[in-house]
Chains A and B, each alone.
Chain A
Amino acid sequence: MTIPFDLLLIQVINGIVTGMILALVASGLTLIFGIMDVVNFAHGELFMLGAYLGSTVFLTTGNFWVALAAAATGIGLLGAVIQTTTLRPLLGRDPLTTILATFGLSLVLQNYALWQYGPVPRKINEPITGHFSLFYLEYPWYRLLVAVLSAAIIGGLWLFMKYGKYGIWIRATTQDRVMAAAMGIPVPLVHTVVFAIGAAMAAASGVLFGPLTGVNHAMGLDFILRAFIVVVVGGMGNLGGSILAAIFLSLLEAFASIWVSPAQAVIVSFVVLILTLLFRPTGLFVPTPK
């Protein structure tokens, strides 16, 4: 069966767009895991709350960019509070405990959103409307903007980590938190800040994603599962790997959607995860096992 080239290309672009948002969410998740061995089950809820907060700010200001900034900052702060109150006491305990704690948090946050915002989906309007012609389709500019913005945020994060003043602190703590502390780096503070950054990135993704499908309280669930898969396939703690994995998996799902429904296309990602765990457990793109 031949697939029309234009359909293929559209799916490629769709895959990349979704992949970039997913990469943004997964980057925060993998960063948090890499530095403090915490699998943040509540990450999807931070994504979702970011979208809701963004929609509220958007409602009052009418400005997408303000909403984006406010959501990222607000949820970043929430992340800092969560880490300090719930995760810091658990440092050094069995990693299972942090999974459970963040799972408990995700239940609370999910239902809080339901309570606070109600079951009716919210809306965020995209800052750039209009389409350009892509073959037989009118492709929205906004989707391209989303991909570019996500790439920019991730790029900014990478630059900060490599060249920023505190980037060294974060990288040192990720590699060896004991020696980092022995060098005078305030490790607990670094942990909190990284968690906050991860939360802020998730929130930003939520706001970026909002105009595409609407803001509802279940949007986090779908993303968290995909994000976990991305993080494992990319190699836990591996930032570059997560980004590649996010795009790779999104492209695969986009192609699969040509034949099956999007709900079923997610099975493709599941299969890739299982194959990765069986044959390349440290990550699909990781060259040598650690």
Chain B
Amino acid sequence: MTTRPARGYWIGFAVVLAVLVLAPLVLPEFWRRFVTEILIWGLLAMSLDILIGYTGMVSFGHSAFFGLGMYGAAAALLTVRPPNLWLAILYGLVGAGAVAVFVAYFSTRLRDIYFAITTLVFSQIFYVIIFTWTEVTGGENGLGFSQPAFAIPGVVSARFTPVTLHWFVLAVVTVSYLGLRRITQSPFGMVLQSIRENEPRTRAIGYHVERYKIVAVMLSGLFAGLAGVLYALQNKFAAPDFVFFLVSGEVVVFNVMGGMGTLVGPVAGAAFFFLLRELFSRFFTEYYLIPVGIIFTLMVIFVPQGLLGFLRRRLNQ
């Protein structure tokens, strides 16, 4: 591992981080919220990157993890008094984790298209359950709840302001990113990439491919669930729309546009998508997906490595 790319990398990282820390202080409310949402969707996209970019498993089911993280947090915040932030996170992760176990099982039995379709079906199963089980999930209307305070027993207890919430989200996302980066650069991460490149050969060398896949799915699912929890905290509601399979598709779009296998790429992809949406909404109102969809399709054909794909090798030394 050479030091030159590492130093440039950390400088870039510090700059971006500083910008994100200062952002809520200088931006108007709308854009402040915009940046926070990008961070949350970016975390979701990052979690998908573990599967798509590093292990080579296409999943159209991340909306299920996201949604269950969201509803899990909702459950904690609605059933336990006083609403507890950490409990919300815990419930959310447990919810997402439970789904991840199922998906992990299937990941070992199915390959490629069949796995992709199964994950899609999974997210739809949860969508249908959540949408129709009105008594528990609020059905079509979802669940509304209040934001918990940031509380560490005995140390501090403060309500979130939009700015401090943004910093909290930023902290969670940053720590998650660093954690995921560590994991992808570890021997474990190398094996995942080897599975993506050539699964039979990885198996032949002696790696227990199934175990690696299971761990990858669990990891991916948990971080996706975490993103769901953050979303619930930010917006104070949970709705079935986020579990619909199209949301999974959009996350895949973030990954592809930003560059798979880079971790930061998907975040950039999310930012790019939302910026395009803002831009095109001015001209096309709610039909922004027409030009954005066209751009995405063109990118799939002509720029499949995504915006930051050229960084892939350097980031994964």
- B301 interface hit (Cβ, 8 Å): yes
Contact assessment for A112 and B297 in the assembled complex, using a CB-CB cutoff below 8 Å: no
- Residues 175-192 of B, flagged 1 when their CB comes within 8 A of A and 0 if not, give 000000000000000000
- A261 interface hit (Cβ, 8 Å): yes
Stretch in contact with the other chain, from B121-129, B157-165, B202-210: B121-129
Contact assessment for A278 and B58 in the assembled complex, using a CB-CB cutoff below 8 Å: no
Residues of B within 8 A of A232 (CB): 114, 117
Contact assessment for A89 and B301 in the assembled complex, using a CB-CB cutoff below 8 Å: yes
Contact assessment for B249 and A107 in the assembled complex, using a CB-CB cutoff below 8 Å: yes
Contact assessment for B121 and A274 in the assembled complex, using a CB-CB cutoff below 8 Å: yes
B window 102-134: CB within 8 A of A: 106, 109-110, 112-114, 116-118, 120-121, 124-125, 128-129, 131-132
A103 to B254, CA, bound (A): 13
Residues of A within 8 A of B245 (CB): 225
Stretch in contact with the other chain, from A59-67, A90-98, A159-167: A90-98
A267 to B132, CA, bound (A): 12
Contact assessment for B112 and A104 in the assembled complex, using a CB-CB cutoff below 8 Å: no
- B1 interface hit (Cβ, 8 Å): no
- What distance in Å separates the Cβ of A237 from its nearest Cβ neighbour in chain B? 12
Residues of B within 8 A of A96 (CB): 58, 112, 116
**What range describes how many residues of B lie at the interface?**
35 or more
Contact assessment for A277 and B109 in the assembled complex, using a CB-CB cutoff below 8 Å: yes
Nearest-neighbor residue (CB-CB) of B124 within chain A: A225
Contact assessment for B120 and A101 in the assembled complex, using a CB-CB cutoff below 8 Å: no
Contact assessment for B252 and A277 in the assembled complex, using a CB-CB cutoff below 8 Å: no
The number of residue pairs between A and B whose CB atoms lie closer than 8 Å in the complex comes to 101
Instruction: Among B109, B249, B288, point to the contact of A278 (Cβ < 8 A).
Output: B109
- What distance in Å separates the Cβ of A263 from its nearest Cβ neighbour in chain B? 6
Contact assessment for B253 and A104 in the assembled complex, using a CB-CB cutoff below 8 Å: yes
A window 258-278: CB within 8 A of B: 261, 263-264, 266-267, 270, 273-274, 277-278
- A137 interface hit (Cβ, 8 Å): no
A97 to B117, CA, bound (A): 15
Contact assessment for A100 and B252 in the assembled complex, using a CB-CB cutoff below 8 Å: yes
A86 to B297, CA, bound (A): 8
A74 to B131, CA, bound (A): 36
A97 to B256, CA, bound (A): 10
- B25 interface hit (Cβ, 8 Å): no
Main secondary structure of the interface of A (DSSP, over half): helix
Residues of B within 8 A of A263 (CB): 128, 131-132
Residues of A within 8 A of B284 (CB): 115
Contact assessment for A111 and B290 in the assembled complex, using a CB-CB cutoff below 8 Å: yes
Contact assessment for A277 and B118 in the assembled complex, using a CB-CB cutoff below 8 Å: yes
Contact assessment for A228 and B117 in the assembled complex, using a CB-CB cutoff below 8 Å: yes
Among B58, B284, B288, find the residue whose CB has the most chain A CB atoms closer than 10 A.
B58
Among A39, A99, A105, find the residue whose CB has the most chain B CB atoms closer than 10 A.
A99
- B287 interface hit (Cβ, 8 Å): yes
The 3 lowest CB-CB distance pairs between A and B, nearest first, are A104-B297, A108-B293, A107-B293
Interface of B toward A, CB cutoff 8 Å: 58, 106, 109-110, 112-114, 116-118, 120-121, 124-125, 128-129, 131-132, 245-246, 249, 252-253, 256, 284, 286-290, 292-294, 296-297, 300-301, 304
Since A264-B128, A274-B121, A277-B106 are in contact, a sample of 4 more A-B pairs with Cβ atoms closer than 8 Å, ordered by chain A residue number, is A101-B297, A108-B290, A225-B124, A225-B245
